[in-house]
Structure 1
Amino acid sequence: MTGMTGRAGMAAGDTATPAAGGQMGTTIVVVGPSGAGKDSVMGYAARHFSGDERFVFARRVITRPSDAGGEAHIGVDAATFARMKDEGSFCVSWEAHGLSYGVPAEVQAQIARGAVAIVNGSRQALPALVAAFPRLKVVTITAHAEVRAERLARRGRESGDAIAGRLDRQPRGPDMDLDQVIIDNSGALETAGTAFVRLLDQTVES
């Protein structure tokens, strides 16, 4: 993966400033291997907290069609993404699997007013995410290999060999000392979803 950037137009290590009299919010970065169901777990929590202004579920900009399935995102072509990046539209951007991903810059303003922002991230992009968000917790969504294989097969996007390759690929992230939590999503979505909702509630209360 290449081309990770932190907050657009700012030097490394710069951070957002809390609103006057307020407290900086927290960023929850959700990561996990293909087939673990992180989009489903995040969607469960988004439905639970619908209308609750304490929580912001960031909608990423990605260089793939908006109707491609999976997470709800803003789909743009490569040229549009490059222009948005040059214009400072992203607080974090990175490339993975032949696609470009960007987190809208306004997420930092929402965190500065004290909101908890939930961001669909990538382990390889954690250095850029840490640089952009001063208070960050990483939530890893996992699932047993056989469960992931079944889910990937149901998606119908890849051959059996391609799925096997994904399962054999061990996700590796940077060697960083981070606040991390693991949620197993091998069973019913409600189980993992409820655990994630509870974690978000605790983040607001702490």
Structure 2
Amino acid sequence: MTVEANRKPAKNLASDTAGIMAVVVGPSGAGKDTLMNLAARHLAGRPDVHFVRRIITREGDAGNEDHKSVSDADFDALQRAGAFAVSWEAHGLKYGIPAAVRDELALGHLVIANGSRSVLDRFQTAFPRLKVINITAQREVLAERLMARGRESREDVLKRLERGSLTVNGSYDVANIDNSGTLEEAERAIIAELEALIAR
């Protein structure tokens, strides 16, 4: 089940600290979107598990993520209306986590969102029960995957990887999943992490 932005947050629910927000982060090329899609397929049909459909100011068919595409003006209007629990900007795009996720958390459910390491402080403020799942891979593996996309030169890719960190900084509850090996191994790892959160 996905959480949509146009749903209004319910009133008079229990505290939104009842459930757990799992935010999945990681560098480009780590396979974050692929693993989230596989986990969503595995957990499909569970009423207590919800994958967030983010609101993004990019075309609906861009990327490997099922998101709701809006214009900059519409995004700003939604933000002014309080439609987001968390929002941020990166690489010229705007991203929003619908405020309706609080409904599911108030029911004690597990909510999984695609996030960013740069705004984990915002997620922690919005969601006291936060689990960070950091998808990583060895730098040489990341370089091969990024170069295979054909968007950057080898030199640009290597410079970007040198500048970036593969770890999560801060006092967060973090699970690190190394996706350098087979996709099946990483899939089992993320599903195990999510099932452990469901069992809490």
TM-score normalised by the chain length of structure 1 = 0.85
What is the aligned counterpart of 1:57 among 51, 58, 69? 51
Q: Give the SS at the match of 1:141.
A: strand
* Aligned twin of 1:195: 189
Q: Give the SS at the match of 2:122.
A: helix
In structure 2, the CA distance between the partners of 1:83 and 1:146, relative to structure 1 (3 Å rule), is same
Structure 1 contact 45–196 (Cα < 8 Å) conserved:
yes
Displacement of 1:77 in angstroms is: 1.6
Partner amino acid, structure 1, of 2:40: A
1:71 aligns with 2:65: yes
Partner amino acid, structure 1, of 2:142: R
Structure 2 contact 17–129 (Cα < 8 Å) conserved:
no
Q: Give the SS at the match of 1:83.
A: helix
Displacement of 1:51 in angstroms is: 1.2
1:141 aligns with 2:124: no
Partner amino acid, structure 2, of 1:67: D
How many residue pairs are counted as aligned between the two chains?
A: 191
* Aligned twin of 2:5: none
Partner amino acid, structure 1, of 2:65: E
What is the aligned counterpart of 1:44 among 35, 38, 48? 38
Displacement of 1:18 in angstroms is: 8.7
Deviation per CA, 1:79-98: give whole Å up to 9, x if none. Answer: 11111111111110011111
Displacement of 1:154 in angstroms is: 2.4
* Aligned twin of 1:115: 109
Q: Give the SS at the match of 1:40.
A: helix
In structure 2, the CA distance between the partners of 1:82 and 1:196, relative to structure 1 (3 Å rule), is same
Gaps of 5+ in 1: 1-15
* Aligned twin of 1:5: none
Displacement of 1:106 in angstroms is: 0.7
Structure 2 contact 16–102 (Cα < 8 Å) conserved:
no
Partner amino acid, structure 1, of 2:143: A
In structure 2, the CA distance between the partners of 1:177 and 1:158, relative to structure 1 (3 Å rule), is same
Gaps of 5+ in 2: 1-9
Deviation per CA, 1:112-140: give whole Å up to 9, x if none. Answer: 11110111111111111111111001111
What is the percent sequence identity of the aligned residues?
48
Trace 1:22-41 onto structure 2 (pairs within 5 A). 24-41=18-35
Structure 2 contact 134–168 (Cα < 8 Å) conserved:
no
RMSD, aligned CA: 2.3
Deviation per CA, 1:127-180: give whole Å up to 9, x if none. Answer: 111111110011110001121112112223333333223212223888532111
The CA distance in 2 between the partners of 1:128 and 1:22, in whole Å, is: 15
In structure 2, the CA distance between the partners of 1:143 and 1:174, relative to structure 1 (3 Å rule), is closer
Structure 1 contact 29–119 (Cα < 8 Å) conserved:
yes
Q: Give the SS at the match of 2:113.
A: strand
